Structure 1
Amino acid sequence: MKELFIKETITYDGRQLSSHWAYRNFGIQGESIVSFRGPCRVELTEMVDIKDVLSNSPIFSTDMLHFIIEHFDLDLEKTIVRQRLLIATLKDIITEKSGAVLSRYGDDLFFQNRKLTVSIATLTPVSTMIHTGVNVTGKDAPVPAIGLAEIGLDPEEIEDVGRSLLSEYVKEYEQIKMARCKVRGVR
């Protein structure tokens, strides 16, 4: 699995959840996790979470740390489990760097009942994908939100959260693949 941290600002608008996004835009062929920072503006027409569409809840943030993951299998349930692993790992990293006591409910992180993340897992014709966005600031969000800056992380530490999650997710993924290969079958 390949990882890439992009230094330039990119606005996440939902169109990044399309097969081969990392390959088409950055030459990364195969399974990947890509991180970048930028605003988030997902209109209802681009949303894949039908619950949010039905409740007329567009996603917006002025500044987020984004992660786009693509796995080339078609098992959405497995990808949702991967998404939960990503969020649990993210929680550990943020807690270690900030000392903040975070709560995890499903695929979202909260600090003092304010939402820190958004996340979705979906299926494409050839792969499964995950998007997770972590608020850098909760300012102007459509729900009670908080950001990494508001829990005490400076810009360098915020970038380090991104880079750490990239490497930890790849490490977990590779270890899971190796764990499959070390056991004998039972009857």
Structure 2
Amino acid sequence: MKIMKKIDFDTISVVVLEEVKTYTGEEIEPFWAFKMFDIQKDSIIGFNGPMNVKIENMKDLKDIKEEQDIKTPIMSSDALNFIVEHFDNPDLKMIYLRQRILVSIAKDVIENYSGLKLKKSGDDLYFNEKKLSVCIACRGVSSGKIHLGINVKSDFVPTHVSAIGLNDIGLSNVLEIMEDIAVEYANEMSKIERDIRKTLPLF
């Protein structure tokens, strides 16, 4: 896979892929960024492509239980996909908090581009009560991982999901949106790291 752009912050790297790639759920496994792109620190990888996640690659036990009769519960013909990995041994609560930051940043960026107001409920984004995104946070032995998928198109989603895509709300410059979300997330994580290193302790 070719890298279109790579931006290094102090503690995290942003990579935007040039090629279309399908998200299958395997990308959320540990060390994917290191294996594929030799990135040996925290990272956020953005790529455009379909989502096609079979139930054996899902990490949300509630969804697995509810959708066990559906062969491919997470599908989209075209989406913006973000894979985040942090190696500071975050507990699951920390990686979920970071997930919420990423989703809030995506909401702000999309609203700025579209001039529309989205609804955020937990880790999901909606417009007119239709689902715009999917997201999961999980933790392994060495790192915490996040996947955020934002529909570009709303076709080929599972029949039980009422979905909407960025194209449906008038947005076509999706690669620019993808890069802005990734860069803003990395910038926010870098600011937090700098704040940690300037704050005096309580005595």
Matches within 5 A, 1:14-163: 14-56=25-67, 58-72=73-87, 73-142=89-158, 143-154=161-172, 157-163=173-179
How far, CA to CA, are the matches of 2:156 and 2:192 in structure 1?
A: 39
Q: Which amino acid aligns with 2:142?
A: V
How far, CA to CA, are the matches of 1:49 and 1:82 in structure 2?
A: 17
**Over aligned residue pairs, what C-alpha RMSD do you find?**
0.9
How far, CA to CA, are the matches of 2:111 and 2:90 in structure 1?
A: 32
How far, CA to CA, are the matches of 1:181 and 1:6 in structure 2?
A: 32
Question: Deviations along 1:130-151, whole A, 9 cap, x unmatched?
Answer: 0000000111212000001111
Q: Secondary structure at the match of 1:150?
A: helix
Q: 1:30 Cα shift?
A: 1.1
How far, CA to CA, are the matches of 1:59 and 1:22 in structure 2?
A: 22
Task: Structure 1 unaligned segments of length 5 or more: list them.
Answer: none
In the superposition, the TM-score normalised over structure 1's length comes to: 0.96
Q: How many residues align?
A: 185
In the superposition, the TM-score normalised over structure 2's length comes to: 0.89
Q: 1:74 Cα shift?
A: 3.5
How far, CA to CA, are the matches of 1:141 and 1:53 in structure 2?
A: 17
How far, CA to CA, are the matches of 1:162 and 1:173 in structure 2?
A: 17
Stretches of 4+ moved more than 6 A in 1?
A: none
Aligned identity (percent) is 38
Question: Deviations along 1:139-168, whole A, 9 cap, x unmatched?
Answer: 1212000001111111xx211111001110
Please, which moves more after superposition, 123-132 or 177-186? 177-186
Matches within 5 A, 1:159-174: 159-174=175-190
Q: Which amino acid aligns with 2:133?
A: T
How far, CA to CA, are the matches of 2:155 and 2:33 in structure 1?
A: 29
Q: Which amino acid aligns with 2:113?
A: K
